[in-house]
Amino acid sequence: MADDASRQNDVQRLLQEIRETLARNRLVEGLVQRTHQPHQALVENIVHRQNLALLASRLDNLHAADIAHILEALPLDERLVVWDLVKSDRDGEVLLEVSDSVRESLIRVMDSDELVAAVGQLDTDELADLAPDLPDEVMQDVFSALPVEEREQLRFAMSYAEDSVGALMDFDLVSVRVDTTLEAVYRYLRRLKELPDHTDKLFVVDREGRFQGILPLKKLIVSDPSMVVSDLMPRDVVSFRPEDKARDAAHAFERYDLVSAPVIDEQNKLVGRVTIDAVVDFIRETSDTERLSQGGLREEEDIFAPVWSSVKNRGPWLAVNLVTAIIASRVIGLFEGTIEQLVALAALMPIVAGMGGNIGNQTITMIVRALATHGMNRADIRNLYFKEVKVAAINGVVWGGVLALVTVLMYGDWPLGGVMMLAVSLNFLVAALMGVTIPVLRNHFGRDPALGSSVLITAITDSGGFFIFLGLATLFLL
Amino acid sequence: MADDASRQNDVQRLLQEIRETLARNRLVEGLVQRTHQPHQALVENIVHRQNLALLASRLDNLHAADIAHILEALPLDERLVVWDLVKSDRDGEVLLEVSDSVRESLIRVMDSDELVAAVGQLDTDELADLAPDLPDEVMQDVFSALPVEEREQLRFAMSYAEDSVGALMDFDLVSVRVDTTLEAVYRYLRRLKELPDHTDKLFVVDREGRFQGILPLKKLIVSDPSMVVSDLMPRDVVSFRPEDKARDAAHAFERYDLVSAPVIDEQNKLVGRVTIDAVVDFIRETSDTERLSQGGLREEEDIFAPVWSSVKNRGPWLAVNLVTAIIASRVIGLFEGTIEQLVALAALMPIVAGMGGNIGNQTITMIVRALATHGMNRADIRNLYFKEVKVAAINGVVWGGVLALVTVLMYGDWPLGGVMMLAVSLNFLVAALMGVTIPVLRNHFGRDPALGSSVLITAITDSGGFFIFLGLATLFLL
């Protein structure tokens, strides 16, 4: 027994030892290849084999999530050595825990038989999670080895979209009949010998398997065993349908502080349950995906991935940026004559564009958040336009004023300062209007309001800023 | 009983009705003030009072989180009308559920007595969460009204930093002695009549209250009542110390799929527990804070907040951007002579800067993620530098090449195309090097590697890109 900090230290220490052992091993291999002292090398080799065996037994004592952590922290070749040390009956659970990109690297080195053996031990809902990463023939082998009931479950779990409750769901249900006594429930549970993880409630069904309600364990435990299940069922139960959005289910888990919740179909049949651990993983993955896409990465990147796959991962974003940058450049190109006459404009124009991009991104961030946490009706949206325009106007006067002063200090040119202030204010207004419009429109058409909004607003405030500033300069200063 | 989707629909429908009722109410008030038909207005007024009473009773049936949702979705004046309709004995739990900015707006309209009554009903750990938002005299009144034990708990909970386990912790412990039979445990639990939420395990202590282990409810239920607690305790238990980082605790909850975990002090005394609902809230808040700061907002913003508070919220970021933009502008200013001679440079330079910013942000996003999920040693960091430089070099050749071609197509100037390619490649290298260095250094000095990294890298790639491009042009093209 140890607290979490010392447990993490143990994992880190083991990671360090693995690295050192493998580094020594590489030295020995080098020795065997390069020197004429095969005997000594052989002895050392045996020692290192023993070390590896020791590492293997220590890995075996770790939680699958900790093994996954170690695999993720190691460069590819060392990762594969450690992967070999993991007992094959734990391969499945470890594959579930590692990140997508690391999972790919592990699956690539396993042959079909190993894969079938590894994933054959998993629950059907876990199998459904891994399925997209597995070769087709492996999935076919696994599928045909399953009992009929589990085959149905697997087909069911795989039939739902990744962002639906069906994909979060598992089938580890403990259900009891509505008309039994608690005494009978206890007898039934003791016969089961073990309850699934995250069982905080039993699911209550009628004779036909139709969902009737829930029986929280904590109620079961404090109640008199002679009572009947139906007496204890709370009136208010949160349940889901398999086609519900996973995002909404996650919000419900947060709002109502759930640990598990039943999933029922149109016929009111109990088909599965969602548990908080699946929800937490979903929340974490969603926020990771958002952060990556905000940073301009297509997907999560294994830091030890080959250079070429990194180049590909970052390509799409760079391509988009290339196009928007060229458009902005062409806008400037329209005003080359103006810049030739007043070269200070070239130095000042990025300020107008950059500050506008800032305002636009601030507005979008706020609106996306508001759309995500509570819907907005027409009146709200109208109010938001008014408010954002006011905020932009005030910011335009304040920061435009500061920039006008800076311009006058740098160039001693009052009209230029005036154009600066006007351009900053106008670009702020454009940024605010588009900052509301883009996410609201995307949301209206059922798209994720966050995705790509930032690229779009920055493209608009760049090109717009250059156009407004250089256009005003052409009008008033030449 | 209803599934989650129809429950959410109910909440949305109630929200809609509230809006309509309040809108009609305003009409009536207008009538009273403006017309000479006081009698008819009075009648309608009574009708609307009845409507409000109806709304109040429907609000009373909602979960506190749903009431919070409705309050957040309403503009300030309507929000306050609804807040008045909420029964005062639920004020405390609703205050806990609303967002920080909305909570402020609600607390502002409550007098001391109301506040003392509202928060007096909360648990000490909840009280500790609200404390920073409450006026001092309210906290003093509440504090002096608490029993001695709870006073100690409150002092304890408030003594820990916001990002520590101590701040996540609650005191709803059910502990049992290590040497009792399950039979006795059942008798004890039935006497309690109710178990705290998220009780998936009991905490086992010895005679002196020292923590000995845990007893999972699901083990208790399936085991023979004649067994003794100590026979059932799992060997492997995750526990925390109050001063542990909340972030690490959240990772442990995710890794080991926990629902609750004990918090113990240096003397091995059981002081509290952490539950998954607090962890989920923490995860959500952390990712929200990150997203807001990436978007350039200081803190969460109530969309109905007054214009002035929005201006203040967005000010710091704009100020930072103002400074970096002026620096970049001065860099361009250095080369005004060059631009005067070759005005195409003015149109091309934002491309170099923008694409560099992209590469830098991609690199930083990846490194921040890698640092967060698994630490990196020196060898890893060295490898990362090599890898990122290679990725940047390839991207430089690819995208620099494309841009060189675009330049030649636009201006028919081959040497200008060459300078473009060289500048893009060099700025990519700067971006990659700084993209690794900034988060690694911040992490090394114990700071959050993500915070502000994006502003810094963009400032560097802007100024750097302008300098490299215009500098090369001055060298080779004039």
pLDDT (tens digit, 9 = 90+) per residue, A186-209?
999 999 888 999 999 999 999 888
User: Which residues, 6+ apart, have CB-to-CB distance to A463 below 8 Å?
Assistant: A324, A327, A328, A331
Contact A394 B297 (CB under 8 A): no
- Measured between CA atoms, how close is B33 to chain A, in angstroms? 24
Interface size A-B, in CB pairs within 8 Å, comes to 373
pTM, to two decimals: 0.85
Residue B27 pLDDT > 70: no
pLDDT (tens digit, 9 = 90+) per residue, A99-157?
888 898 899 888 888 888 888 888 888 888 888 888 888 888 888 888 888 888 888 88
- CA gap B150, B148 in Å, rounded: 6
What is the band of A284 on the pLDDT scale with cuts at 50, 70, 90? confident
What is the distance of C-alpha A451 from the center of its chain?
13
- CA gap B424, B393 in Å, rounded: 10
Sequence spans of domains, chain A: 4-160, 175-294, 307-477
Residue A33's pLDDT is what? 59
Confirm or reject contact between B347 and chain A (CB < 8 A): yes
Nearest residue to B255 (alpha-carbon basis) of A88, A62, A89: A62
Cα nearest neighbour of A303 on chain B: B370
- Closest Cβ opposite residue B343 in set A329, A339, A462: A339
- CA gap A285, B194 in Å, rounded: 35
Residue B356's pLDDT is what? 94
Helix (H) or strand (E) holding B417: helix B414-444
Confirm or reject contact between B174 and chain A (CB < 8 A): no
Least confident of A309-318, A445-454, B203-212: A445-454
- Closest Cβ opposite residue A221 in set B63, B189, B318: B189
Confirm or reject contact between B327 and chain A (CB < 8 A): no
pLDDT (tens digit, 9 = 90+) per residue, A153-186?
888 888 888 889 998 998 888 999 999 999 999 9
- Closest Cβ opposite residue B314 in set A220, A362, A402: A362
What is the band of A78 on the pLDDT scale with cuts at 50, 70, 90? confident
Residue B334's pLDDT is what? 94
Task: Identify the CATH class of A4-160.
Answer: mainly alpha
What is the band of A326 on the pLDDT scale with cuts at 50, 70, 90? very high
Per-residue CA distances from A409 to A337, A403, B345 (Å) = 25, 10, 25
Residue B287's pLDDT is what? 84
Confirm or reject contact between A333 and chain B (CB < 8 A): yes
Percent of chain A scored above 90 by pLDDT?
A: 40
- CA gap A345, A347 in Å, rounded: 5
Mean pLDDT comparison of A281-295, A424-438, B95-109, B139-153, highest-scoring range: A424-438
Confirm or reject contact between B12 and chain A (CB < 8 A): yes
Nearest residue to A106 (alpha-carbon basis) of A66, A146, A133, A131: A133
Residue B468 pLDDT > 60: yes
- Closest Cβ opposite residue B325 in set A99, A197, A350: A350
What is the band of B43 on the pLDDT scale with cuts at 50, 70, 90? low
Which architecture characterizes domain A175-294 according to CATH?
A: Roll (3.10)
Q: What residues in B contact A347, CB-CB < 8 Å?
A: 329-330, 332-333, 336
Residue B332's pLDDT is what? 94
The residue-averaged pLDDT of A76-101 equals 87
Contact A354 B213 (CB under 8 A): no
- Measured between CA atoms, how close is A33 to chain B, in angstroms? 24
Average pLDDT, chain A: 87
- Closest Cβ opposite residue B346 in set A221, A310, A339: A339
Residue A324 pLDDT > 60: yes
3-state secondary structure of B61: coil
The 3-state secondary structure of A103-167 reads HHHHHHCCCHHHHHHHHHCCCHHHHHHHHHHCCHHHHHHHHHHCCHHHHHHHHHHHCCCCCEHHH
Q: Which CATH superfamily is domain B307-477 in?
A: SLC41 divalent cation transporters, integral membrane domain (1.10.357.20)
Residue A10 pLDDT > 70: yes
CATH of domain B4-156: 1.25.60
Residue B345 pLDDT > 80: yes
The answer to whether the beta carbons of residues A104 and A92 sit under 8 Å apart is no
The residue-averaged pLDDT of B59-79 equals 86
The residue-averaged pLDDT of B86-97 equals 88
- Measured between CA atoms, how close is A123 to chain B, in angstroms? 16
Confirm or reject contact between A314 and chain B (CB < 8 A): yes
Residue A453's pLDDT is what? 82
Residue B235 pLDDT > 90: no
Contact A391 B307 (CB under 8 A): yes
Residue A472's pLDDT is what? 95
**Encoding tokens for residue A245?**
């959005």
Residue B295's pLDDT is what? 78
Contact B329 A347 (CB under 8 A): yes
The answer to whether the beta carbons of residues A273 and A261 sit under 8 Å apart is yes
Same fold yes or no, A4-160 and A175-294 = no
Residue A378's pLDDT is what? 81
The residue-averaged pLDDT of B108-132 equals 86
Residue B100's pLDDT is what? 84
- Exposure class string for B4-37: b at 16+ Cβ within 10 A, else e: bbebbeebeebbeebbebbeebeebeebeeeeee
Contact A194 B222 (CB under 8 A): yes
Residue A330 pLDDT > 90: yes
Which parts of A265-301 are beta strand (E)? 270-275
Residue B390 pLDDT > 90: yes
- Closest Cβ opposite residue B328 in set A326, A345, A350: A350
Cα nearest neighbour of B314 on chain A: A362
Contact A4 B239 (CB under 8 A): yes
- Measured between CA atoms, how close is A398 to chain B, in angstroms? 10
